[in-house]
Structure 1
Amino acid sequence: MDERVREHARVLVDWSARVTAGDDVVVSVADGAHELAVAVARELGERGATVTTLYDSAEVTRGYLRGVAAGEVDVDDDQSVDRALYEAADVVLRLGGGRNTTATADVPRETRRAYATARQDVREARMAADWVSTVHPTRALAQQAGMSVEAYRDFVYDAVLCDWESLAEEMAQLKALFDAGERVRLVTERADAPNTDVEMRIDGRTAVNSAASVAYDSHNLPSGEVFTAPYATEGEAFFHVPMTIDATRVRDVHLVFEAGEVVDVTAAQGQSAVESVLETDPGARRLGELGVGMNRGIDRFTDSILFDEKMGDTVHLAVGRAYDACLPEGESGTESAVHVDMITDVSERSRLEVDGEVVQRDGTFRWEDGFEAA
Structure 2
Amino acid sequence: MDQRIAEHAEVLVDWSARVEEGDDVVVRVDEGAHDLAVAVAEKLGERGANYLATYVSDEVESAFVRSHDGDFDPNPDFELSMLENADVVLSLRAKRNTAAKGAVPGENRAAYKKSRTEIKARTMDTDWVSTMHPTRAHAQNAGMGYGEYKDFVYDAILRDWESLADEMANMKDLIDEGSEVRLVKEETDLTMSIEERTAVNSAASVAYDSHNLPSGEVFTAPEATEGEVYFDVPMTHDGARIRDVHLTFEEGEVVDWSAEVGERALEDILTTDEGAKRLGELGIGMNRGIDRFTDSILFDEKMGDTVHLAVGRAYSSCLPEGQQGNQSAVHVDMITDMSEDSRMEIDGEVVQRDGTFRWEEGFEE
Q: Answer whether TM exceeds 0.5 for this pair.
A: yes
SS of 2:112 mapped into structure 1: helix
Q: State whether residues 26 and 86 of structure 2, in contact with CA within 8 Å, keep that contact through their aligned partners in structure 1.
A: yes
Say if 2:356 is the partner of 1:364: yes
In 1: Cα distance, 2:203 partner to 2:318 partner: 15
SS of 1:92 mapped into structure 2: strand
User: 1:220-264 CA distances to partner (integer Å, 9 max, x unpaired)?
Assistant: 000000000000000000001010123210110000000000000
SS of 1:84 mapped into structure 2: helix
Residue in 2 that maps onto 1:4: 4
2:277 to 279, 282, 285: 285
Moved over 4 A (4+): none
User: 1:48-80 CA distances to partner (integer Å, 9 max, x unpaired)?
Assistant: 000011101111101211221xxx352222422
Kindly report which structure 2 residues correspond to 1:1-374, keeping only aligned pairs within 5 A, or say none.
1-68=1-68, 72=69, 74-189=71-186, 195-373=187-365
In structure 2, what residue type is equivalent to 1:306?
L
SS of 2:22 mapped into structure 1: coil
In structure 2, what residue type is equivalent to 1:140?
A
In 2: Cα distance, 1:103 partner to 1:180 partner: 43
Q: State whether residues 75 and 111 of structure 1, in contact with CA within 8 Å, keep that contact through their aligned partners in structure 2.
A: no
SS of 1:344 mapped into structure 2: strand
Larger deviation, residues 122-131 vs 54-63: 54-63
Unpaired runs of at least 5, structure 2: none
User: 1:76-118 CA distances to partner (integer Å, 9 max, x unpaired)?
Assistant: 2242211221121111100000211111111111111100110
In 2: Cα distance, 1:260 partner to 1:80 partner: 36
Residue in 2 that maps onto 1:192: none
In structure 2, what residue type is equivalent to 1:75?
F
In structure 2, what residue type is equivalent to 1:26?
V
In 1: Cα distance, 2:174 partner to 2:95 partner: 38
In 1: Cα distance, 2:269 partner to 2:290 partner: 27
Count, aligned residues: 365
Q: State whether residues 277 and 312 of structure 2, in contact with CA within 8 Å, keep that contact through their aligned partners in structure 1.
A: yes
In 2: Cα distance, 1:212 partner to 1:66 partner: 34
SS of 1:236 mapped into structure 2: strand
In 1: Cα distance, 2:70 partner to 2:323 partner: 36
Q: Identity rate of aligned residues, in percent?
A: 66
User: 1:91-150 CA distances to partner (integer Å, 9 max, x unpaired)?
Assistant: 110000021111111111111110011011100000000000001001111111111110
SS of 1:215 mapped into structure 2: helix
SS of 1:143 mapped into structure 2: helix
SS of 1:186 mapped into structure 2: strand
In 2: Cα distance, 1:254 partner to 1:248 partner: 17
Return the TM-score normalized by structure 1: 0.96
In structure 1, what residue type is equivalent to 2:333?
D
Q: What is the RMSD of the two structures over their aligned residues, measured on CA atoms?
A: 0.8
In structure 2, what residue type is equivalent to 1:92?
V
Unpaired runs of at least 5, structure 1: 190-194
In 2: Cα distance, 1:370 partner to 1:102 partner: 40
